[in-house]
Chains A and B, each alone.
Chain A
Amino acid sequence: GEDVEQSLFLSVREGDSSVINCTYTDSSSTYLYWYKQEPGAGLQLLTYIFSNMDMKQDQRLTVLLNKKDKHLSLRIADTQTGDSAIYFCAEILAGNMLTFGGGTRLMVKP
């Protein structure tokens, strides 16, 4: 994950908002993604944003994209204990291949 960067850990209290940040490298990426990985499980596609958008909202999830700074964020409103997981941002590079960040481990405290 050396090309796409994320902070390693985030701890929040249940009911608070969580904001997970990511910086990516390729300004020509057409789509940017957020994946969720629960312990021992595969990667679940949470949401994605097209590069000509600034914001996308999907229920409790809000994705913000700042193309100038190559910065992507995922906001989870009213965070629940079931949101505890590792969250990966990813960008699409040549060959339709995803490059992932190192993942942010979100811990939600009751």
Chain B
Amino acid sequence: DTAVSQTPKYLVTQMGNDKSIKCEQNLGHDTMYWYKQDSKKFLKIMFSYNNKELIINETVPNRFSPKSPDKAHLNLHINSLELGDSAVYFCASSRRDRGPFFGQGTRLTVV
């Protein structure tokens, strides 16, 4: 059973579109995250969310928004996609003070 799963694995879309990436974890963790990995492999935190608190990296454009229907899911919505949004997006989950477990990533290509 996959611990952290995200869909789709690949997403190709045109500039200006709105898209969502879904993430689900079956580990019973309280906190979920979204990370962005750019073409140079640098990983940056975008959001950290549990049922009490959303922490946003201030460098993330407000076109990006996390939506959590329940503790096991944290979806990433992106409005008005831009070329610079092309990257691999990783969902992750963790329990307190322990390193996250990551999903396999979603490669987003904006054309």
Contacts and interface: CB of A to CB of B under 8 A. Distances in A.
B99 A90 contact: yes
B99 A48 contact: yes
Contacts of B33: 97-98
A92 B45 contact: no
B45 A43 contact: no
Given A96-B94, A97-B48, A45 B101 contact: yes
Interface stretch (A55-63, A71-79, A99-107): A99-107
B1 interface: no
A4 to B, nearest CB: 10
Nearest to A95: B55
B99 A31 contact: yes
A42 interface: yes
Given A42-B103, A97-B55, A92 B97 contact: yes
A88 B55 contact: no
Contact of A98 (B40, B100, B104): B100
A90 B103 CA distance: 17
Nearest to B46: A97
Nearest to A32: B99
A103 B42 CA distance: 7
B105 interface: yes
Interface in A24-76: 30-31, 33, 35, 37, 41-45, 48
B105 A42 contact: yes
Contacts of A103: 41-43
B3 to A, nearest CB: 10
A46 B3 CA distance: 16
B111 to A, nearest CB: 20
Contacts of B55: 95, 97
7 contacts: A31-B99, A33-B99, A42-B90, A97-B48, A98-B100, A99-B45, A102-B41
